[in-house]
Structure 1
Amino acid sequence: MLARNVVHLDPASAVFEAMKEGWARQQSARFLRASTIDPRVRMIERFAEFSGQYPWQWTPADGEAFIAHLRSGTKPIRMSTARTYEVTIELFMEYVLDSRYAWVQTCVERFGEIPQPVFHEGNSVLHTVEYEGDPRRRPLTYDEIQALFDAADARPAKIRSQGRKGSLAALRDAAVIKTVYAYGTRRTETSRLDLTDLRRNRKAPRFRGYGSLMVRYGKASKGAPPKRRTVLTVPEMDWIVEVLEEWITEVRPHFSPGKHPAIWVTERVGRLSPRSINEAFVAAREAAGLDESLDLHCLRHSYITHLTEFGYPARFVQEQAGHSHAATTAIYMGVSNEYRNKLLEAALKGRLGDDWDVTA
């Protein structure tokens, strides 16, 4: 990464830049995307700016001071965020300390210093539980789902009554929100859906051309291509067939999409972005007066929870959600007390018979 026999005016900066470039290339060789690599490199630059030191000068005390600084102030970082930062710095230092890249030798020869690990088991966040996300994130209740849909459906008429533009976009947004819930899709997955992703399910002909949804841009593992899955339309969500049919045959043509393949298009005949889908949810949530801690991803939590309450097997729910591990699906579940009481009642009846006394 460093040119031989070249005298740099600022050798420390030159070596640091070469380290970052080499690390980025290493990650690129693993087929990590730029959206993963670039934030990592920026984090290393941010840490260097905070410490005022170069990597071969960093110490564990610098790392501890950095995390302590980020935990203070009016908007302290969460535990999961702190771990992400620590892991990023650890990965960079592992690259620097790897003898195959000769950075240790370079630092000794040029600066007389040896790089050392910044974070270790004694000063980094341990991963002791499966889920460390915001505890306020939860599935919506059935009443909240209905209130959200009612608010989204009311927006087009409200916009028209005010003489403003955007009623068609509001119709689209209502359909998008319902689709996210009916199929449990993530916002990026929803944004990347094309018309050809809507398929007929020969086992459920009554759903016509909306019997399944092919998700081709599912959340990918690091260094892997997007995961694919087919989400089947379930009978409890059969109302989505009319929603999609109305959008595709009646509303979408008013956007003059031409040959654009996307299901969800904008007024400028572009693909609706994940950010716009998120904004549509926020607008409906505010109109419905729901808890502001609820976000678009809560609809995916709701989908998984409600499929479970409908009685679908755990494996089916896992496949619908596109999770590699059942433990991940379990994190999304937040079944109601009513559902658990029904399971308890069924278990008691199975063991004690129909004559068991609920008050005993």
Structure 2
Amino acid sequence: MKVREVARTWLTHLAVERGLSQNTLSSYRRDINRYCDWLESARIADIGAVNTADVEAYVMDLRRGVEGRAPLSASSAGRALIVARGLHKFALSEGHVGVDVAADVSPPATGRHLPDTLSVDEVARLIHAIPTSDIATPVDIRDRALVEILYGTGARISEATGLMVDDVAHAPEVLRITGKGSRQRLVPYGSMAQAAVEDYLVRARPGLSKGKSHALFLNQRGGPLSRQSAWAALKKATDRAGLKKDISPHTLRHSFATHLLEGGADVRVVQELLGHSSVTTTQIYTHVTAENLRQVWRSAHPRA
């Protein structure tokens, strides 16, 4: 069977059966098209003609950069390999091939990158820089609630902008978040975030709403707030706070996880709150807290 035909069937399966988001599907489609292009340049058209050496050569070419393409980082090449593996695993499950030739191909080695985080004081400066007084605009009040939610729940930016009003009203002190693969999780959020959301619902959202959307966070036209606009809101808050850091929504997610672990939370609890399918993903934050301890020790111990 032709590789591209198997790829089309697999992408349809991911969309319909697995319920992957459009953003994830777009990334998969880009990587799978790159893989198909590479196989065609190697004169391999049928999925059954691909062998393990071909998949390994593909990863090596991604790292080197071939045919005018820029070399990919180890992490980007690793993600591309995950997609290629998924295709071959699907081909095996559908009976198109008798063996999964990509199963034993190792991803390129990559150095561990510790995520950027803010201190508790920096988070407070960021949030308090957004006005909520009588002169605050509806957008200011919305942005305050948005940042409180991002830090208070560790939600991804797509999860925060995807919240519906009903997700807040679902249960007191608990937020219903829809994550990757349409999986839902319940995340508690604190009194400060609750107060900010309630303030937004009472003072700001009615003025923004045009009756068009049930989304929690609205833009000035009454539609759902986009991820790009949410990023812009965070950038504005960063400037207002005078923080000389490149702060993204993921910075707040990283800070949420790090501060929980520093406060004594169990890593598996943090895993559930973040919506990670594997605790391995969450364990990167244990390295962050360990590095913080080392830095304090180096600066404070007389024999460091």
Taking structure 2 as the reference length, the TM-score comes to 0.72
Could you report, residue by residue, the CA deviation over 1:37-70 in whole angstroms, capped at 9, with x for unpaired residues? 5543433433454563443487638525631344
Contact 2:63 2:77 in 1 (8 A): no
Could you report, residue by residue, the CA deviation over 1:303-323 in whole angstroms, capped at 9, with x for unpaired residues? 222233344455544443344
Contact 2:65 2:71 in 1 (8 A): yes
Q: Does 1:172 align with 2:154?
A: no
Contact 2:63 2:73 in 1 (8 A): no
C-alpha separation in 1, matches of 2:189 and 2:60? 51
Structure 2 counterpart of 1:55:
44
Change (3 A) 1:252 1:71: farther
Number of residue-to-residue matches in the alignment: 286
Identity level (%): 23
Structure 2 counterpart of 1:229:
185
| Cα deviation, residue 81, structure 1 | 1.1
Contact 1:191 1:271 in 2 (8 A): yes
Letter in 2 for 1:197: D
C-alpha separation in 2, matches of 1:43 and 1:283? 34
| Cα deviation, residue 295, structure 1 | 2.0
Change (3 A) 1:286 1:192: same
| Cα deviation, residue 262, structure 1 | 1.9
Contact 1:309 1:339 in 2 (8 A): no
C-alpha separation in 1, matches of 2:218 and 2:224? 5
Q: Structure 1 residue aligned with 2:28, among 17, 21, 40?
A: 40
SS at 1:100 equivalent = coil
Letter in 1 for 2:41: G
Structure 2 counterpart of 1:295:
248
| Cα deviation, residue 251, structure 1 | 1.4
Q: Structure 2 residue aligned with 1:125, among 98, 107, 114?
A: 107
Letter in 2 for 1:321: L
Change (3 A) 1:179 1:41: closer
Which structure 1 residue ranges, 5 or more long, are not aligned? Answer: 2-14, 105-115, 161-166, 202-208, 221-225, 342-360
Contact 1:140 1:299 in 2 (8 A): yes
The aligned runs of 1:15-94 (5 Å cut-off) are 15=2, 17-25=4-12, 27=14, 30-31=17-18, 33=20, 35=22, 36-49=24-37, 52-56=41-45, 60=54, 63=58, 66-70=61-65, 76-93=71-88
Structure 1 counterpart of 2:193:
240
| Cα deviation, residue 271, structure 1 | 1.2
Taking structure 1 as the reference length, the TM-score comes to 0.63
Could you report, residue by residue, the CA deviation over 1:270-312 in whole angstroms, capped at 9, with x for unpaired residues? 11123322232233234433322x4211211212222333444
Contact 1:86 1:119 in 2 (8 A): no
Q: Does 1:139 align with 2:139?
A: no
Letter in 2 for 1:231: V
Which structure 2 residue ranges, 5 or more long, are not aligned? Answer: 298-304
Structure 2 counterpart of 1:273:
226
SS at 2:130 equivalent = helix
Contact 1:138 1:301 in 2 (8 A): yes
C-alpha separation in 1, matches of 2:196 and 2:21? 36
Change (3 A) 1:289 1:326: same
Contact 1:16 1:54 in 2 (8 A): no
C-alpha separation in 2, matches of 1:29 and 1:195? 26
Letter in 2 for 1:83: G
Letter in 1 for 2:116: R
SS at 1:229 equivalent = strand
Letter in 2 for 1:18: E
Could you report, residue by residue, the CA deviation over 1:207-234 in whole angstroms, capped at 9, with x for unpaired residues? xx5x22222x1233xxxxx222222234
Letter in 2 for 1:142: V
| Cα deviation, residue 180, structure 1 | 0.9
SS at 1:198 equivalent = helix
